[in-house]
């Protein structure tokens, strides 16, 4: 996967490392491997500029930086980016530049560009979502999306629904706007969804209770982090198997 910086002011893309930018609780870092594993998937992508949005109930206003004027948002292009794009692109593509902000017909939904495009690996897609396990912004919700980047090249953006009315919502360059996770594109086809198999507790086979007992003993053996230590050991086996394959 390759990120193409299209807006010069866009911060570097950062690999998620499971620490949640240093905000992961110490006990979780030591003992909660499932939380760490989820948090370290993919890459953090940040806004290219500091900006604010405000939903009035009927329209969206925007402000660039902390001292800018509030302006009605329809579709916003970053002037410096447009000039840089026109200089860099081949002839015939001079008008193919994307907006930075775009309001949807629903009114309170805004598409935010990250200032990057993405070149996916063969057989891979990317999942765009809000940052995993980072404190969420109470002012908006992120819509998640999955794109087959192995063939489709487009600007990297995320759609957000503004939740608060008449309150400025901050989007600072130092806080991740999205987390991009690469997945195999076999997850994309819409397949027939089979109903889940549900077994009643009194009807499960003995193997279930054997596994249950092993898990219970590990959780209650008086040694914190037993799952974490065992899973980290197993992870090395996964890596070795992948390398040898």
183 and 206 part of one domain: no
- Note whether residue 112 is domain-resident: yes
Q: Is the pLDDT of residue 244 over 70?
A: no
49 and 166 part of one domain: yes
- Note whether residue 155 is domain-resident: yes
183 and 208 part of one domain: no
Token readout for 153 is 């090249």
- Mean pLDDT over 14-21 rounds to 90
- Note whether residue 68 is domain-resident: yes
Q: What is the pLDDT of residue 135?
A: 84
32 and 137 part of one domain: yes
- Note whether residue 181 is domain-resident: yes
Q: What is the pLDDT of residue 25?
A: 83
Q: What is the pLDDT of residue 24?
A: 83
DSSP 157-225: EEEEEE--BSS-EEE-TTS-SEEEEEEEGGG-S----PPPP---GGG--HHHHHHHHHHHHHHTSS-TT
111 and 181 part of one domain: yes
- Note whether residue 29 is domain-resident: yes
Q: Is the pLDDT of residue 232 over 80?
A: no
Q: What is the pLDDT of residue 224?
A: 63
Top pLDDT among 241 and 169 is at 169
- Mean pLDDT over 217-241 rounds to 72
7 and 80 part of one domain: yes
Q: What is the pLDDT of residues 141-196, one digit of tens each?
A: 999 999 998 899 889 999 999 999 999 999 999 999 999 999 999 999 888 778 88
Write the CATH number for 109.
2.70.40
- Note whether residue 129 is domain-resident: yes
Q: What average pLDDT is seen over the chain? A: 90
173 and 112 part of one domain: yes
Structural domain range at position 211: 201-244
Q: What is the largest CA-CA distance in the chain?
A: 70
Q: Is residue 239 very low, low, confident or very high in pLDDT (cuts 50, 70, 90)?
A: confident
- Note whether residue 192 is domain-resident: no
Count of domains for the chain: 2
Q: Is the pLDDT of residue 241 over 70?
A: no
- Mean pLDDT over 57-61 rounds to 96
The CA-based dihedral angle spanning residues 57, 79, 92, 113, taken in that order and rounded to the nearest 10 degrees: -50
129 and 219 part of one domain: no
11 and 88 part of one domain: yes
Of all residues in the chain, the percent with pLDDT exceeding 70 is 95
Q: Is the pLDDT of residue 15 over 90?
A: yes
């Amino acid at each position: 996967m390759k990120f193409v910086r299209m807006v010069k002011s866009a911060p570097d893309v950062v690999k998620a490392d499971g620490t949640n930018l240093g905000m992961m609780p110490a006990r979780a870092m030591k003992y909660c491997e499932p939380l760490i594993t989820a948090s370290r998937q993919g890459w953090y992508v940040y806004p290219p500029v500091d900006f604010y949005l405000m939903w009035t109930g009927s329209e969206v206003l925007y402000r660039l930086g902390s001292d800018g004027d509030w302006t009605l948002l329809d579709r916003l292009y970053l002037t410096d980016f447009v000039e840089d794009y026109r200089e860099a692109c081949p002839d015939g593509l001079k008008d193919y530049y994307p907006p930075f902000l775009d309001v949807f017909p629903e009114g309170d939904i805004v598409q935010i560009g990250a200032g990057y495009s993405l070149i996916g690996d063969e057989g891979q897609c990317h999942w765009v979502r809000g940052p995993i396990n980072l404190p969420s912004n109470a002012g908006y919700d992120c819509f998640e999306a999955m794109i087959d980047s192995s063939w489709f090249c487009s600007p990297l953006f995320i759609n957000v629904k503004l939740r608060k009315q008449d309150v400025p919502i901050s989007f600072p360059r130092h806080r991740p706007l999205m987390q991009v996770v690469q997945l195999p594109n076999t997850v994309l086809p819409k397949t027939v969804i089979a109903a889940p198999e549900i077994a009643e507790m009194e009807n499960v086979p003995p193997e279930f209770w054997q596994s249950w007992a092993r898990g219970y003993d590990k959780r209650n053996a008086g040694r914190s982090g037993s799952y974490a230590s065992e899973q980290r050991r197993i992870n090395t086996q996964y890596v070795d198997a992948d390398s040898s394959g």
